[in-house]
Chains A and B, each alone.
Chain A
Amino acid sequence: QQQVKQSPQSLIVQKGGISIINCAYENTAFDYFPWYQQFPGKGPALLIAIRPDVSEKKEGRFTISFNKSAKQFSLHIMDSQPGDSATYFCAAGRDDKIIFGKGTRLHILP
């Protein structure tokens, strides 16, 4: 059973454009929703996270939009840069357990 569904699987965006990655979750008990960024050969690193009592969180060029009623959340990367090319994972967690989506491979064209 896939508890966190992520789309698209891969994404190509022009430099300066907006990258959008979507996730949906099933378990309403989840109470935090982080996004991770992974570069090839490295472990993932936390990018930004949100709690379900907030509809949006912005940190620099990265924004999480959260829709509790639809059980969906998304990552927006504004002014996308070639250095943003990486794999992005959404996740959902409660207590000590964190479940990840399958990831999105993002490529920013120079």
Chain B
Amino acid sequence: SQTIHQWPATLVQPVGSPLSLECTVEGTSNPNLYWYRQAAGRGLQLLFYSVGIGQISSEVPQNLSASRPQDRQFILSSKKLLLSDSGFYLCAWGPFVPGELFFGEGSRLTVL
């Protein structure tokens, strides 16, 4: 069976510090991988998606970046965090069927 792991689950970072969130998928190969951010009142905002190693599509211009160094690994990074980067970050993979994404447990980031 397929599983998705996302870490860390919670982190508190000062403004201007770097960020690295990691996501790995097990039990499948060549999945599409996604990073979403969930902020209060803004729903699920698509940040990046990847259809293969080294292939990253960015949906929102900002100080975040994503990388896919391995087939089942997706990393979200920032060199300098902003207050507005606070939120609940969700990694997802899919789909077996169109529209079906499987989400991780999320990483809650608070920037102070």
The chain A residues found within 8 Å of chain B, CB to CB, are 6, 9, 31-34, 41-46, 49, 51, 89, 91, 93, 96-103
Contacts and interface: CB of A to CB of B under 8 A. Distances in A.
Interface of B is mostly: strand
Nearest to A33: B99
A46 B44 contact: no
Contact of A89 (B41, B44, B97): B44
Contact of B44 (A93, A97, A103): A103
Contacts, number: 61
B99 A32 contact: yes
Interface residues of B, number: 24
Contacts of B34: 98
A98 B99 contact: yes
Nearest to B50: A96
